[in-house]
Amino acid sequence: MAALSELLPVEAVLLDAPAADWREAVRRAGDLMVATGVATDTYTVEMVENVERNGPYIVIAPGLAFAHARPSPAVLGTGMSWVRLAEPVAFGHEANDPVDLVVGLAAKDASEHTAAMGALARLLADPGTARALREAPTARAVHALLAGGPAPSGGPESAPPRKEAAHDGGDHHKILTVCGNGVGTSLFLKQTLEGVLDRWGWSGHVTVEATDTISAKGKAGEAVAILTSREIARTLGDVGVPVKVVEDFTSEAEADRVLRDTYDV
């Protein structure tokens, strides 16, 4: 699988870009992916329509939007873009507005960019690296940081004691992370959750699966819980298992809290 720095080349980084509103901000991210040959202009339209249809769930953390749409013929290859705005714009998100950073994603399928999503999730989960990325003076400086990694932070909290019965035996649980398309924000949240589960020592007992809203309704019976954005939670409604809202998909501290609540740890 391609590395983050390969999927997000320096030519796909734009700093201090003007944008009058969220639509123009998303178009900026789309234009970069068109310029690097991974998508057509039609895909940019599809990214805007995704927000119009599903709401601002792509605003996955304070100030950060992860613009994408479903895989389609408008995607020519898997790639990403990075747009830092000159002035923040509102997407209509209850907790994470205004947005000053838009990361774009065009994906042929969910398999090609899994490793890159994991790398990006780790980078943005580290406060020092996230700050350095936001303050980088040039596109090359951003790309250099994306090619590296965060300093070890030890995580937001220590792992819980291994006293939860389901994880002392042979039981295996599944958690679903859900977004409108199953290849973008849900995959990002999956990576953050898996980082916490690894630190807890529970990764062998809990599987995290990223999926879309339609598939999630059919798979809900297999899961102990669904983790998603507030907008997607409203779309899902009652699916027979707990649906838990995560506001900041980059925060291992919030993922840790939600997991503790799910398992009463």
Q: Is the pLDDT of residue 167 over 90?
A: no
Catalytic machinery residues: 68
Mean pLDDT of 182-203: 88
DSSP string, 88-103: EE----TTT-SEEEEE
* Cα separation, 30 vs 200, whole angstroms: 38
Position 166 pLDDT exceeds 80: no
* pTM for the full predicted model: 0.85
Write out the H or E segment, with its range, that includes residue 4: helix 4-7
Q: What is the pLDDT of residues 69-125, one digit of tens each?
A: 988 999 999 999 999 999 999 999 999 999 999 999 998 876 666 777 778 888 888
| Alpha carbon distance 12, 137 (integer Å) | 15
Residue 232: band (very low, low, confident or very high) from pLDDT cuts 50, 70, 90 = very high
Whether 208 shows a pLDDT value over 50: the answer reads: yes
pLDDT of residue 120: 87
Mean per-residue pLDDT over the chain, rounded: 88
Q: Is the pLDDT of residue 137 over 60?
A: yes
Local structure of residue 38 (DSSP, 8 states): S
DSSP calls for 141-200: HHHHHHHS-PPP---SSPPPPS--GGGTSS--EEEEEEESSSSSHHHHHHHHHHHHHHHH
